[in-house]
Chain A
Amino acid sequence: MAVDKNMNILIVDDYKTMLRILRNLLRQLGFNNIEDATDGSMALQKLRQAKFDFVISDWNMEPMTGIQLLREVRSDDSLKHLPFIMITAESKSENVIAAKEAGVSNYIVKPFNAETLKTKMSSVLGEF
């Protein structure tokens, strides 16, 4: 099935420059409907207010971290099937294991490149 490039994507990061980088890279991949949030709680609020098809989140944010956001999403009946990719500088095995156990769809370690972003998104959405 073809990937819908009009899907609504929520990007979450406490660094505004990273949000801008992600937005630009996603736009270059053909995705234009992008919303952002600067921590997990803001993201959760947006996810409950509007329909999103994909979440790309950082881990290390305050007050709500990316892993807390992921757990909230997976425990919410209306959101639990939402594809969720973690993009983070946290690269220890224990982080990856914790994220996997919490139900992450895929995991990207910073610094990352556009090709990795595309590959990881494809692994969740199918080739595009």
Chain B
Amino acid sequence: MPAGVVDPDIEAKLSVLRKRHGDVVSVSDISDVVESIMSSMKGDLTATDLEIYNELEALGRYIHEAKDDIAALRPDEVKDKYLPSATDELDAIVQATEVATNTIMDATELVEGVMGDVDSEVADKLMEATSTIYEACGFQDITGQRITKVCKALQDIEEKIDGLVTAFGSEIDKVKEAQLAKGEEDDAVTDKDLLNGPQLSDEAKSQEDIDALLASFD
């Protein structure tokens, strides 16, 4: 067969695959397509055919390994567990700084309220100090805007990961099952597991809860 001319059998096979998958093949179907083409190669193989065969085989192997590697990263866990948790933590920062800022301003307004009761020299000093406090309280607006930007970036990442989870669904399930089986073997709590940082307000235990828990040991 002259160079550049595709075997009619392979051409027919490619046409069937093109009809089934269209011009764009999803990541999860690439291995099947490659295997399909390889299995259609028959008869006397030329050196070029063998080279193509080897290249395709290597490509198939590479894709298979890449799929396993990506599935092992558990993109589903990133999407379902880590990203929502990160967004909640960031929201909690905005709320906490807002509460703190308002408390500072409540106190500053009280100071402003007594400025009329003191002599003008002291009142001027108080005015200057309270102005500075109000200016500094602007940090809440700036940090809030920055955190909102980060939350939006996290939303974009979540959408991309959603696509990955859809594409690698079955591989991820296999990894999940394997990890679950391993987890059942070693579920002892380590020191690292205890490093959780501050809890979100709806999950956090109150001092009363802690006292009750401590008392339960008596």
Which residues of A pack against B, CB within 8 Å?
13, 15-18, 20-21, 24-25, 28, 60, 89, 110-114
A89–B148 CA distance with the chains assembled, in angstroms:
13
Task: Please judge, given known A-B contacts A111-B139, A114-B134, whether A20 and B144 are in contact too, CB under 8 Å.
Answer: no
Contact status B142-A111, CB under 8 Å: yes
Taking the closest CB of chain A, its distance from the CB of B66, in whole angstroms, is 39
Contact status B134-A25, CB under 8 Å: yes
Taking the closest CB of chain A, its distance from the CB of B163, in whole angstroms, is 27
Taking the closest CB of chain A, its distance from the CB of B136, in whole angstroms, is 8
Q: B141: which of A18, A25, A28, A114 is its contact (CB, 8 Å)?
A: A18
A-B contacts, 24 listed (Cβ < 8 Å): A13-B141, A15-B140, A17-B98, A17-B141, A18-B138, A20-B105, A21-B135, A21-B137, A21-B138, A24-B108, A25-B135, A28-B127, A28-B130, A28-B131, A89-B141, A89-B142, A89-B145, A110-B138, A111-B138, A111-B139, A112-B138, A113-B131, A113-B132, A114-B131
Taking the closest CB of chain B, its distance from the CB of A121, in whole angstroms, is 15
Which secondary structure dominates chain B's binding surface? Answer: helix
Contact status A24-B105, CB under 8 Å: yes
**A-chain residues with CB within 8 Å of residue B40 when the two chains form the complex:** none
Most chain B CB within a 10 A radius of its CB, from A17, A28, A114: A17
B144, closest chain A residue (CB) = A15
- In the complex, how many residues of chain B place their beta carbon closer than 8 angstroms to a beta carbon of chain A? 21
Task: Please judge, given known A-B contacts A110-B138, A111-B135, whether A21 and B145 are in contact too, CB under 8 Å.
Answer: no
A114–B142 CA distance with the chains assembled, in angstroms:
17
**A-chain residues with CB within 8 Å of residue B131 when the two chains form the complex:** 25, 28, 113-114
Which B99-113 residues sit within 8 Å CB-CB of chain A?
Answer: 101-102, 105, 108-109, 112
Contact status A17-B137, CB under 8 Å: yes
**B-chain residues with CB within 8 Å of residue A28 when the two chains form the complex:** 112, 127, 130-131, 134
A5–B208 CA distance with the chains assembled, in angstroms:
52
**A-chain residues with CB within 8 Å of residue B134 when the two chains form the complex:** 21, 24-25, 28, 114
Taking the closest CB of chain B, its distance from the CB of A29, in whole angstroms, is 9
**B-chain residues with CB within 8 Å of residue A112 when the two chains form the complex:** 135, 138
